Amino acid sequence: MSVAARFVRSVGALLLLAAALGAQGRVAGDDTAVDTTPTPGAIPFERWKAPEPQTGELLCGTCETSGREYFERDPQWEGHLDERTTESGPTWRVLHDSELYTSDNYGLDWTACDRRKAPSIHDLAEAHYAGEVARRQAWLDERRRVDAAVRAKQPLVHIESTHFVLAWGIPKVKTSAKKTYRMHAAAMLYLERFEQLYAEFQTLFELEDRMNQTSKHFVYLFERQSEFSDAAPRYTGLTGSTTVQRMSGVEQDSSLASWWDKGMYSSDDDYRRHLSYSLIKHFTSDLYDLRWFEPGELGLVPPWLNDKYGWLDTGLCHWFELRLPGNVISYSMREQDTTSRWKGNDWRKNILKAAKSGDVPTFAEVITLPTQSLTAKENQFVWSWIDFLLARDTPAMGKALAMTKQEYATRDILKECWGLSVLGFEQAWTDWVLVAYAPTKR
């Protein structure tokens, strides 16, 4: 079977599987089948429906025989909620939030009714309440271990969403739009950006969670270097000066630890771009669907692209980074000499000029280099090569990434996904650049 056919087959199987799981998910509760206790951040939700009281039980006017008494949240908390950017998006939702859990009543807007007129229903409500409180407290206790590990001066904000577990120690963020976000709102702002990036990555390349090893990325972000230095070895197994990343593996989490070095990332835009650049590596590494392989066949080990497909790895990271507002300042700090630069901040201009004068690195050579070996100049070219390929066929990148995990040669990937040969690549790319990067007339 061809790679393309195998890939397509996997997607089909995934959709079927997802449909089956979706149908199943609605009835499978934790302890009881009827508990639809809202998960914080999920909107909208259906209010819990109590079962019918047993024969002989009385109706309860206080709780309308639901066992639950709802109340308005503390207005202060409501105000705080308004600070949030959004609670969820179409592809994700907030699952846990330390600030919500440490607010009144663990952030729940109901308690078990204490008038025991219909004991079967009130027992159920009490059990649900105790279970929900225990669940929230257990998550909080686990996350507070990070606070202890980094000797945080004030409690960190912890938020878990569908694809990220964020530990946040940055007291406030001011955006380029001059809007200031206090600690929890700032954490939500970044979490939402991460989820948007994740969704964009999947949508553009037609990828699914089911193709990943974990689909969960642990992110630890701090204000101070000392906190980072405490967290990095513990949660990534690595040490470094600004940002360290460990990719997901058989028995390890995908995790990134960083501190906001204002000397390096002076603005919110800059730090966001740096983190976006960095997270794309986690997404491409995590992509590893066992169904792409024949039984017993081993895929790309380790599963990251930087060793064998450095140009793809780096080009993709830059491509997502450059879609965001702000200046180009972010090279991969781990791999790149941060002082080395090639020309100005406008990469399109640089590339166009170089393409016109034929000052272009040899494609056939650069595609053999690992990420670490790429020069500042080559960084800009691999970005443009990816820009060209995605303009030619964006979803083909999903297939290309699957092929890297099956260790196909770059020439086979180019041919299968974009109908290009290694020899023909440079000319096709040059022709495209001369048009696509030409200054637009106003």
- Region binding Zn ion by CB under 5 A among candidate stretches 27-35, 176-184, 192-200, 390-398: 176-184
Minimum Å gap between C-beta 265 and Zn ion is 24
- Region binding Zn ion by CB under 5 A among candidate stretches 113-121, 161-169, 239-247, 391-399: 113-121
Minimum Å gap between C-beta 163 and Zn ion is 19
Nearest-5° angle of CA 364, CA 366, CA 367?
70
Tokens at residue 198, please?
Answer: 């994740």
- Region binding Zn ion by CB under 5 A among candidate stretches 111-119, 133-141, 356-364, 366-374: 111-119
Residues 12-71 that bind Zn ion (CB under 5 A): 60, 62-63
Nearer to Zn ion (CB atom), residue 119 or residue 237: 119
Strands 172-174, 110-112: parallel, antiparallel or unpaired by DSSP? unpaired
The site for Zn ion, by CB under 5 A, has a size of: 7
Please pick, from the candidates 115, 153, 349, 353, the single residue that binds Zn ion as defined by CB under 5 A: 115
Nearer to Zn ion (CB atom), residue 96 or residue 282: 96
Nearer to Zn ion (CB atom), residue 113 or residue 396: 113
Residues 132, 72: Cα–Cα separation, whole Å:
19
Nearer to Zn ion (CB atom), residue 9 or residue 172: 172
Nearer to Zn ion (CB atom), residue 126 or residue 261: 126
Strands 243-246, 254-259: parallel, antiparallel or unpaired by DSSP? antiparallel
Strands 88-89, 92-97: parallel, antiparallel or unpaired by DSSP? antiparallel
Give the closest residue to 264 by CA, choosing from 292, 230, 225: 225
Nearer to Zn ion (CB atom), residue 41 or residue 326: 41
Residues 181-200 that bind Zn ion (CB under 5 A): 184
Whole-angstrom CA distances from 129 to 62, 159, 192, 253 are 17, 21, 29, 31
Nearer to Zn ion (CB atom), residue 113 or residue 150: 113
Nearest-5° angle of CA 114, CA 30, CA 104?
45
- Region binding Zn ion by CB under 5 A among candidate stretches 12-20, 115-123, 343-351, 397-405: 115-123
Beta bridge partner(s), residue 161: 94
Tokens at residue 60, please?
Answer: 């309860």
Residues 84-103 that bind Zn ion (CB under 5 A): 99
Minimum Å gap between C-beta 185 and Zn ion is 7
Please pick, from the candidates 108, 113, 124, 247, the single residue that binds Zn ion as defined by CB under 5 A: 113
Minimum Å gap between C-beta 36 and Zn ion is 19
Minimum Å gap between C-beta 34 and Zn ion is 17
Minimum Å gap between C-beta 228 and Zn ion is 23
Nearer to Zn ion (CB atom), residue 99 or residue 230: 99
Binding site for Zn ion (CB under 5 A): 60, 62-63, 99, 113, 115, 184
